[in-house]
Chain A
Amino acid sequence: MTSDRESGAHPLGDVDRLVHEPARLLILSQLYVIKACDFLFMQKQTGLTKGNLSSHLTKLEDAGYVEIIKEFAGKRPRTLLRLTPSGRQAFSNHVASLREWMANVPNQP
């Protein structure tokens, strides 16, 4: 068996770039630790603007990582966000890749 270095493959080569983007990583991290939240809560927690958050959520929804549910809380419309099983898996895989990569980084420069 050859190591990644010997085979030329970089451990971060197959990183999911959709997940790796900082704002989206923040959104996925937030959704990973809760069951669901609405748009406003996510905006408060991430500090992203409405437009920015909306654009990242659309990308994550298109990839099947986030489920966006429209519902009513009383008379107010609410946009509920939830991580899908494949989103959870993608986040876990990404974390595993980063861990593997960090494990190979020497402590001393």
Chain B
Amino acid sequence: MLSLDKITYAYPFQDAPVLRDISLSVKPGQTILVTGPSGGGKSTLLRLMNGLIPHVHGGQIQGRLQLAGRDMAGMLLREISQKVSTLFQDPAKQFLALTVRDEIAFALEWRESDPRVVAEKTELAIETFGLAELRDASIYELSDGQKQKVALASVAALSPKVMTLDEPTANLDPQASADLAGHLARLKSQGVTLLIADHRLAWLRGMVDRVIVIDHGRAVATGEWSILEDVDFRKSFGLRAVDLPGCEGVIKVNAESIDSLVLWDNLTFGYRGRGVLFENETFRIPPNAVTALTGPNGCGKTTLARLMAGLIKPKRGSLQLRSNPIRPGDLLRTTGMAMQNSELQLYQRTVLDEIISAGAGLDIDAAREWLGRFGLKEFASRHPQSLSGGQKQRLVVACAAARAGELLILDEPTSGLDGAQMYALADLLEQRRSAGRSSLVITHDIELIARVCTHEISLPLNTESPNHEPLEPQTLQETL
């Protein structure tokens, strides 16, 4: 179906190739996992396969790339996209319509000449992906998992031969990842070739036919799933775990007996015109702890984090810091917070200025030390917005950590991080805990929770069981 013969590629205006000497042959119906450290060239390889390189990104390609027996160099993007569909990490950024039905029909409308065929294929995709109840829903109303499902339905409706997926589970909770895996398994059984680039591996167990590990632009290892079972191999390339660990040691923070660093008592909060989100709830962050804040999308995790940071005031509730009543605004002085969307949190001229600006009173040496801890020292004089996505994310976390006094809050800090970077973040959180400081981490990442979190706040509070049950390998295989 797809073959790459000694492909070397360099982006425009760059001398060093991003991919070097990559050869690969993909048979119809195979599922290929492309993994490896961040910045290794995974996404670039996918862009070559879906035609975005060279048609959109340009650059210099050496070697031969074939799709269904045809040389891709002579194919238009339109021709390639009729055979190869693409699912991005953040589906919301690829939607061009306002409702679920319109979004699924959108690409079909450009490809089919008969409106009845468009309608039939749209309805079929809606039913196949279990979206009947959401048919006329606005895309704003969807959770991240539902958005990913809609995006998948819209590309599957085109009946592609090949589907490329770039970190499709980065923003998904374990349940949504399992749902996605189930849908992909069905597509695979229908003969669709799947090319998946991802750091998270556990959700793919049982589905992958072949693994390619890419590091510094080279295919450093290829083989079956079993090559990933070797712990030393994974460690040498900074890969994540292949089985999700359990979180048995993590303490639920709903118990009254737990001490509090920050305590919101009788908290009532709701956004104007959208009803009440929390009503007479009590939330506490324990001292000397790393607390995971978990729960499905839309349950109020980010809102609670903003309350804990003192960014918003509730309708009702009393706030205490180390048992002393304080005002929400006072929390701002002692809290560092890294939110999602890193580019919205960077506005200085250089990376060094950025961290100096964030860490109040930080001198240049200390700032450089912080950059070094996050592998950003060599970029000190670069403009923050010129960094890659992963580097920006690390810079934002570094800024928050440099500023944080009593409390550090991180919102989904590991989406898009490889194993080594995730472990480095876990080490930072552990160091803070050892130094008697607390951290609150909004995350779906079971590996991070199991590795470093001591406590967990699971929203909504009135649910009996945690809503992020680690997926056992058997469970996933049953799903598949």
Same complex? no
| B interface residues with partner A (beta carbon < 8 Å) | none
| A interface residues with partner B (beta carbon < 8 Å) | none
